[in-house]
Amino acid sequence: MGEKTNSTSSDTEIHASIEISPAKISAPDGGETVQAAAVADAKAQSSQNRLDEKLRGAGSGQTSIAMGEYNGSEYIVISEAPSPRGNHGRKLSVLPLVFLIFYEVSGGPFGVEDTVKAAGPLLALAGFLIFPLIWSVPEALITAEMGTMFPENGGYVVWVSSALGPFWGFQQGWMKWLSGVIDNALYPVLFLDYLKSGIPALGGGLHRVIAVLALTIVLTYMNYRGLTIVGWVAVLLGIFSILPFVVMGFISIPKLKPERWLVADVHNVNWNLYLNTLFWNLNYWDSISTLAGEVENPKKTLPKALFYAVILVVLGYFFPLLTGTGAIPLQRDLWTDGYFSDIAKMLGGLWLRWWIQGAAALSNMGMFVAEMSSDSFQLLGMAERGMLPEFFARRSRYGTPLVGILFSASGVLLLSWLSFQEIVAAENFLYCFGMILEFVAFVRLRIIAPDAPRPYKIPVGTVGAILMCAPPTLLICVVLAFSSLKVMIVSLVAVMLGIILHPCLRHCEKKRWLRFSESSDLPDMHTATQNETLI
């Protein structure tokens, strides 16, 4: 995978068709070079003509389809080259992908307790029913359409680059990677918060530091060993994490009092904590797009997996909250990280408490490895597109992005000292900026390339696409408005670093201090939109 052919010289360069490269490279002397170039030009023209014909016919032949279905369109949105096969082995199927999405977004109800503390049972339950309709469903739908349109490891970075140019593509990659690393720093914190009631030594000090370091090393090594292993580990961890809440639900039935679900005090709501907790627990649907190049038949598999994962995530939040708030008297101040284990002890005894704590620990392991996989493959995808130095594209013998994993693990260790609430607020702020770029790219590609084949297409027109993005955009503005001054300053500094970093990398490329190159396996991301403007 380390071999590259097309060096990128500037952000505005329009890359040549990859079909030309083999003919030109094989010419050993001047005469043969001319002949090879002529043959290559003929091939390129033929390929371009076929692409133009397909793009012209796409509008009449393509129909809107339901979530989870596939209309048979081939991946020719960017060019006629096949999607890259980067896993060097087995690809992810539907079931592992569902649980990887589950862990990218949720991992179970661990961490949702703060919604009850912030707003009470009624608003907490309503939040996990209404918020998915405003945010999760639109984000999952956009991910299904764009992820099948661009089935490669760059994911949302390629979407934004194709629609808005390489500068904004890089900013998208920087903000989403940073927010992902910040998000991943939560999981050692949550892991230890759930265990500290049973092992008080993990509450702070040297023991906690050692535990965070050891956990990060072990889970990082799991990512290094291969994405297929990570996927099936996610399935096993997911089943184990969900089962104790099913048991707790059955045990709680005789003790449920429905009137407890209706308790609300709208004059005593911590809106910042409430919205940030909801937002954190129901976002990151787009993260799976950075693994699209590792998925078996992504045009079919990705929409199906997203559909099933939405159902699994919403049910995995709502019913444990229904059980916890309905079966015990309300004490809002106690509803914080790890409180489900205390509820389990009240309802079922010490054995159920330990099961919940063990499930929480394993769930955080699943979220860690899923997030790190997404972050590290994103860096690999950006390097394969020439946005990052070439060494980020190096893979281990297991097909995993070695340098990307090391960078992501280092970021987690640097950020793991922050508190849960600070981490959630900071990563939400950066994530919001990235999502705005995704919405703009989604709508712009609908406008400038409406007839480009989309293996999965949301059954709305351009106006419908704009209207679909309006509620989540408004929600983003609300979340940003409730951010604290400290979080806002830190996040804006991070955004400014990305703006400075991009020209610095381009300068390093120009001076040849670092090597940048584009993978020959990848098609030209600009071809489709340019041809659409000519049709």
* Alpha-carbon distances of 153 from 85, 148, 445, rounded to whole Å: 10, 11, 19
Q: Does residue 465 have a pLDDT over 90? A: yes
How confident is the model at residue 252, as a pLDDT? 94
Length of the chain: 535
What integer pLDDT is reported at residue 407 of this predicted model?
86
Per-residue pLDDT, 159: 94
Q: What is the pTM of this model?
A: 0.76
8 A C-beta contact, residue 451 and residue 58: yes
Which domains occur in the chain, in start order?
A: 94-518 (1.20.1740.10)
Highest-pLDDT range among 13-22, 41-50, 60-69, 433-442: 433-442
| CB distance 405 to 222 below 8 Å | no
Distances (CA, A) of 401 to 5, 407, 489: 20, 10, 32
Instruction: Give the integer Cα–Cα distance in Å for 55 and 7.
Output: 28
- Spell out a b/e string for 400-436, using b for 16 or more CB atoms within 10 Å of the CB, else e: bbbbbbebbbebbbebbebebbbbbbbbbbbbbbbbb
Q: What pLDDT was estimated at residue 337? A: 78
Q: Which of 265-269, 321-325, 410-414, 481-485 has the highest mean pLDDT?
A: 321-325
pLDDT class for 416, splitting at 50, 70, 90? Answer: low
Q: Which among 221, 210, 178, 162 has a CA at the least distance from the CA of 378?
A: 178
Question: In three state form, how does the secondary structure of 276-321 look?
Answer: HHHHHHCCCHHHHHHHHHHECCHHHHHHHHHHHHHHHHHHHHHHHH
Q: How far apart are CA 532 and CA 89, in angstroms?
A: 35
Instruction: For residues 220-240, give the mean pLDDT.
Output: 87
Q: Tens digits of per-residue pLDDT, 482-532? A: 777 877 887 888 899 999 999 999 999 999 999 998 876 776 665 544 444
Q: What is the reported pLDDT for 80?
A: 33
Q: Six-digit token pair at 531? A: 């041809």
Specify whether the CB–CB gap between 509 and 372 falls below 8 A: no
Q: Which pLDDT tens digit goes with each residue over 242-272?
A: 999 999 999 999 999 999 999 988 889 998 8
State the Cα–Cα distance between residues 295 and 301, nearest whole angstrom.
7
Q: What is the pLDDT of residues 180-210, one digit of tens each?
A: 888 787 777 777 776 676 677 776 777 777 8
d(CA 190, CA 110): 8
- Residue pointed to by tokens 């949302």: 156
- Assess whether pLDDT exceeds 70 at residue 5: no
Residue in the structure block whose two tokens are 């048979």: 72
pLDDT average, residue stretch 156-184: 91
Q: Return d(Cα 373, Cα 270) in angstroms, integer.
A: 34
DSSP 157-178: HHHHHHHH-HHHHHHHHHHHHH
Q: Which two tokens stand for residue 105?
A: 């977004």
